[in-house]
Structure 1
Amino acid sequence: MTAGIASFQSNKVFLKDILGAINECKIQLPDFQRGWVWDDNRIRSLLSSVSLSFPIGAVMMLETGNTECRFKPRPIEGLPLESDVEPDKLILDGQQRLTALFQALIKPGAVVTEDIKKKTIFRHYYFDIEKCLDPNEDREECIRSISDDKCVRNFRGEVIEDYSTLEKEYAAGLFPVKQVYDSFTWKEGYDEYWDYDKTKMRTFNQFYKEIIQRFEQYQLPVIEMGRDTPKEAVCLVFEKVNTGGVTLTVFELLTATFAADNFSLRDDWQKIAQRFAREEVLRKIPSDDFLQAVTLLATMKRYREHVDGTDPDGRAPAISCKRKDILKLKLDDYREHRDAVVEGFLKAAKFLRMQKIFISRDLPYRTQIVPLAATLAVLGDEADNDTVRKLLSRWYWCGVFGELYGSTIESRFSKDLPELIAWARGGDEPTAVKEATFSGARLEELTSRRSAAYKGIFALMMRDGCEDFRSGQPIDITSYYDENVDIHHIFPRKWCDDHANEQDINRHGAEVDCIINKAPLSARTNRMIGGSAPSAYLQRIEKNEGIPAERLDQILRSHVIDPEALRNDDFWAFYDQRYEEILDRIEAAMGKPVIREEVETV
């Protein structure tokens, strides 16, 4: 259950005071906050709203000082990246608005922003004094956005307006937005420039009352969460109020937490990812998956310490890797288990190669690698034992064909780890193995890589020694890449379409595109097959490749294909026989019976 917020308060605070605290680094950002991204038009719109005393929304801050909820702080953009000042508060909501106002009103120099094409530009902002006092003018149109050198140019690059000196600002009646909290100094120069002209002075006084004073008196609602707020609640609140709608990953949040102890999780993950990149099947493993495996080991250690009496206080802690558990991960926990988990993932890649799963695209479930890697991390050399490897293989295929790792996976992970370790050491079957079932009717529904079981049968055929029709080679990692092996039709779709009525192919909903009518073949073999009848392409292979009919029949049987049915172009004889044989293979892989249903025959 998510922890609640023990205390928070809501007050109205002067904008000037908030920006002052930001400038002094008393208010900073938690490191998980993303960069500032507001464009020029949004800044002008924000300045317009404040100048009219329109509400711009509340901001939310977290009081610092909780040793259990520490985030590395960083100053708001526009200030030096590093600060020796310990902040009193961290901004959870309102970063974009406060950064825009700080840069436009306080920070010296031009504001670094973007135009509508996302191109970086540098801008100074001015109020046109006369226009601001005209009730018929749109306030946004009264705010000028001018380039870094304070000049306006035409399309030929010629300067047509120049406000690069105070005198030129006075002459044009353009008041720099950065002077709103120090308008007296600018006004002195303005009055002197106009020789204390009463009309100009009255105009400026009215401008002060209607514009500048609104900035001086503007208050923002500030919701402040107390320092006793749990980290999980902080993260949840941040995501709820994040108007960008982008969920923070646990990796980003832990990066900010570990950074408070001067440890760069991001840099460490880059090193790990570089090692994983050497294994094609691990290249797309995200950092959050790695952290889940680390958390499984850390929570299992705490659980065992409790059971063994080392840490007997309270209830036994759960073995878990849910988001809230990862967020509780300490740097010491991470350091303790990091290396073992890295090795666990690398061993998982080796295990998957043995199952003929070579690349991430062919992974039935990426998520299933998490408990596998965690288990291998704990078992270490024990996993090299043939009996243990067979048990892990059985669990793996039960997960694939039972289609167990598509949803609610974290709770399954927490069972897998202790149960797999116990099973490897002589204990009972894991829950995943007991619960896994496969129905023969499912075979006809497996038509694309979107299904884990579809990819599983593809890999299982290769693991069990299927050979390429043309070359007769078993598929290993070298031939897989060199020959561009993929899943291809046995009875070509074109032939099936042409003979659909003759063979009544779709009579009971059988899918020409289902896995029963597909096999792992090289790209070259598939081109040789084309859209021909099986009888024709088999003769072509025999003739062109010099393969005897008996040898080709042997190759076909390695794919659990009946050679006679294929040579006779008998779709249903082929289909019914292969349906049964594929189920036999699945039963052998899962180590348990599947649910068989009779396939309607012609």
Structure 2
Amino acid sequence: MTSAYESDPIFQTNPLQVLNIVTRIQSREIALPDFQRDFVWDSTRTSELLGSIMSRYPVGTLLFWEQGEGQPFASRSFDGAPRSSGNPPSVLVLDGQQRLTSLYQALTGSGDERYFIKVDEFVDIPSRSVREVPQVDFEKAIFSMPATPKVGRRSHQLKPAHLPIAEVHQFDDWLDDYADIIGNDPQLALTAKEAKSLYREMRDKYINPLKTYGLPVLTLPSSTSMDAVCTIFETLNRTGKPLGPFELLTARFFPQGVNLRDLWDEAEANHRALKEFRIDPYNVLQAICLRVRGSAQRSDVLKQLTGDAIKEHWESTTAGFAGVIDMLQSDCGVTSQKWLPYGMLLTPMAAVWDMQKELKPLERSQALRRLQQFFWASTFTTNYDQGANSQMGADYSRLAKWITAGEGEAPEVMHELPINATTLRTATVRRKALYSGLICLLVKNRAADFHTGQTMTATRAAEAESHHIFPKAYLAKDQGSESSELMLNRSLIDGETNRIIASHAPSVYIEKMQTAYGEQRLTDVLASHAIASQHTSGLLRDDYTRFLDERLEIVIQLVEEATGKTIQRDVAR
């Protein structure tokens, strides 16, 4: 009898370089089984993965399944990769879709985001040396921008030191130009030759891993039974609560008489909003760390936070979260956690919440207005899409004085970061912060129920779903139309109205609605949803592009009112 240790394993192990995998995804030699879920990672998680690979840190094992004759699963390409060429793939990915899609899109410049490296974050020019991994702030060193027609020409955002990750294979050509720029800067006192030497060392340490990093791969042979594959896949995709910072700190502070688990249970019992908005108790610890250390970085929360600080600030901080949520629900249209643009944005706001409570009524009103402006500006500049921990620290340092007395500098989002009409015009529903922000603006604008004409209460708004204004099926008939999934084509629409809309042209279902409850009421309802309804409007003429342009202008006015900022109207399609 052959022992288990003498038997061949069901899988083979073999590391594959990143560039090899990307190339094989491009040629569709590697694909996904059709039952895999869609790509869901946001730009922050992709940036973190890129940073781990540049640091040569482990990023987990991939699971592949070789394909032979008559394999039972249909396959599909990775998001952003070329579609099927007719030839079946030789390998299907059972575990690793999110990581591989992120790497593929970043390294090929496909998908909704474009990723960049701030090369100067990796070098110390005064000492003529390349920084070690712990010295690099990867939240700053790697950033992304929405993929728009003008992304390559935004000189006010992209600088010579910003290397597109999709062009890392052309690093030496890029360096020739950048070294000349540095060599002509008298403040750096660095010759072009010295710059090339320094940045080539940086290339070898940080850029090359984006091509040569070996991802560990377990490969199941094509002979693996369907039962075995299903069991393996189900096991890999079971949900479970990972051990996080809150659990680690719970164990750390227990001997000091601070039982974080009991404190959190009590906080949820006292403040229903914490559970309704699924607040992570770790965010409360971050808010306390902001108060006592001015930082929300995980290293500071884990190392610098004390039991005494938690005892002093816990109750007021949890009450701060509840207070901020109540304000957002009452004054900003955030009816539920589903439509909260950024959960992390609550942390600095909760940390400063107590400061406005001691003000006189008129001063408190101004402070709350500033907090709301900060919320809206952060939402529509997508300021928390990446580097959220660093952003919380930077915002807290300015937010406290600014909201209470208008003293000191306002948070950078209030004057330094632009909101661009092009971004609003081209954003799809995948841009969660912008999409959620739009829905909340409509509720704030007293959006009326399409079916009854009544202003949506928080309950009605929470129950209504986001549906297409120009039906997806209707637009599909027009192959030249813009995407049906633009956020400007969505609004909160009750189920009854959505059934009336069906796949009809807008002019058809609008006529039915007008017959049901009159022209003036219909006009008022549409206006409450930031939709133009005059007889020449794009909606009534079934002109999708015109409708989008008209709605964009109305939405811009709402954003400007909410943020106190002026929107740049250089729309490009």
| 1:261 pairs with 2:256 | yes
Q: Against the structure 1 CA distance between its residues 281 and 399, is the aligned structure 2 distance closer, same or farther, given a 3 Å change threshold?
A: farther
2:299 is aligned, of 316, 324, 330, to 324
Q: Against the structure 1 CA distance between its residues 587 and 247, is the aligned structure 2 distance closer, same or farther, given a 3 Å change threshold?
A: same
Two-structure CA RMSD over aligned residues (Å): 2.6
Q: Quick check: 1:296–1:417 contact (8 Å CA) kept in 2? A: yes
- 1:279 deviates by 5.3
Residue type matched to 1:294 in 2? I
- Where does residue 287 of structure 1 map in the other structure? 281
2:515 is aligned, of 543, 559, 582, to 543
- Where does residue 392 of structure 1 map in the other structure? 371
- Where does residue 475 of structure 1 map in the other structure? 456
2:353 is aligned, of 370, 373, 376, to 376
Q: Against the structure 1 CA distance between its residues 513 and 432, is the aligned structure 2 distance closer, same or farther, given a 3 Å change threshold?
A: same
- Where does residue 402 of structure 2 map in the other structure? 423
- Where does residue 497 of structure 1 map in the other structure? 476
- 1:588 deviates by 2.0
- Where does residue 313 of structure 2 map in the other structure? 337
- 1:320 deviates by 1.1
TM-score (norm 1): 0.51
- Tell me, in whole angstroms, the C-alpha distance in 1 between the residues paired with 2:522 and 2:317: 45
- Tell me, in whole angstroms, the C-alpha distance in 2 between the residues paired with 1:422 and 1:524: 48
Cα distance per residue 1:275-332 (max 9 Å; x no partner): 34445652x1111111101111122xxxxxxxxxxxxxxxxxxx21212221221111
2:391 is aligned, of 412, 415, 418, to 412
Q: Against the structure 1 CA distance between its residues 532 and 381, is the aligned structure 2 distance closer, same or farther, given a 3 Å change threshold?
A: farther
- Where does residue 232 of structure 2 map in the other structure? none
Residue type matched to 1:261 in 2? Q
Q: Quick check: 2:447–2:528 contact (8 Å CA) kept in 1? A: yes
- Where does residue 565 of structure 2 map in the other structure? 592
- Tell me, in whole angstroms, the C-alpha distance in 2 between the residues paired with 1:253 and 1:435: 37
Note the 1:95-244 alignment, pairs <5 A. none
Q: Quick check: 2:276–2:337 contact (8 Å CA) kept in 1? A: yes
- 1:266 deviates by 1.5
Residue type matched to 2:334 in 1? I
- Tell me, in whole angstroms, the C-alpha distance in 1 between the residues paired with 2:572 and 2:518: 33
Q: Quick check: 1:485–1:523 contact (8 Å CA) kept in 2? A: yes
- Tell me, in whole angstroms, the C-alpha distance in 2 between the residues paired with 1:542 and 1:496: 22
Match of 2:415, SS state, is helix
- Where does residue 334 of structure 2 map in the other structure? 357
Q: Quick check: 1:535–1:569 contact (8 Å CA) kept in 2? A: yes
- Where does residue 9 of structure 2 map in the other structure? none
Residue type matched to 1:453 in 2? L
Residue type matched to 2:485 in 1? D
- 1:383 deviates by 9.4
Q: Against the structure 1 CA distance between its residues 253 and 456, is the aligned structure 2 distance closer, same or farther, given a 3 Å change threshold?
A: same
TM-score (norm 2): 0.54
Cα distance per residue 1:63-84 (max 9 Å; x no partner): xxxxxxxxxxxxxxxxxxxxxx
- 1:571 deviates by 2.4
- Where does residue 16 of structure 1 map in the other structure? none
Q: Against the structure 1 CA distance between its residues 521 and 382, is the aligned structure 2 distance closer, same or farther, given a 3 Å change threshold?
A: farther
Match of 1:422, SS state, is helix
- 1:401 deviates by 0.6
Percent identical pairs in the alignment equals 28
Match of 1:294, SS state, is helix
Q: Against the structure 1 CA distance between its residues 377 and 446, is the aligned structure 2 distance closer, same or farther, given a 3 Å change threshold?
A: same
- Where does residue 580 of structure 1 map in the other structure? 553
**How many residues were matched structurally?**
329
1:567 is aligned, of 533, 540, 552, to 540
- Tell me, in whole angstroms, the C-alpha distance in 2 between the residues paired with 1:250 and 1:257: 10
Q: Against the structure 1 CA distance between its residues 599 and 409, is the aligned structure 2 distance closer, same or farther, given a 3 Å change threshold?
A: closer
- Tell me, in whole angstroms, the C-alpha distance in 1 between the residues paired with 2:242 and 2:274: 29
- Name which one, 1 or 2, has greater alpha-carbon Rg: 1
- Tell me, in whole angstroms, the C-alpha distance in 1 between the residues paired with 2:510 and 2:388: 45
Q: Quick check: 1:465–1:474 contact (8 Å CA) kept in 2? A: yes
Match of 1:336, SS state, is helix
- Tell me, in whole angstroms, the C-alpha distance in 1 between the residues paired with 2:258 and 2:522: 60
Note the 1:3-82 alignment, pairs <5 A. none
- Tell me, in whole angstroms, the C-alpha distance in 1 between the residues paired with 2:274 and 2:500: 32
**Structure 2 stretches lacking a partner, 5+ long:** 6-133, 135-240
Q: Which runs of 4+ in 1 moved over 6 A?
A: none
- Where does residue 229 of structure 1 map in the other structure? none
Cα distance per residue 1:172-226 (max 9 Å; x no partner): xxxxxxxxxxxxxxxxxxxxxxxxxxxxxxxxxxxxxxxxxxxxxxxxxxxxxxx
- 1:494 deviates by 1.4
Cα distance per residue 1:86-131 (max 9 Å; x no partner): xxxxxxxxxxxxxxxxxxxxxxxxxxxxxxxxxxxxxxxxxxxxxx
**Structure 1 stretches lacking a partner, 5+ long:** 1-43, 46-231, 233-245, 300-318
Match of 2:492, SS state, is strand
- 1:418 deviates by 3.2
Q: Against the structure 1 CA distance between its residues 378 and 254, is the aligned structure 2 distance closer, same or farther, given a 3 Å change threshold?
A: farther
Q: Against the structure 1 CA distance between its residues 253 and 599, is the aligned structure 2 distance closer, same or farther, given a 3 Å change threshold?
A: closer
- Tell me, in whole angstroms, the C-alpha distance in 2 between the residues paired with 1:575 and 1:262: 58
- Tell me, in whole angstroms, the C-alpha distance in 2 between the residues paired with 1:437 and 1:457: 17
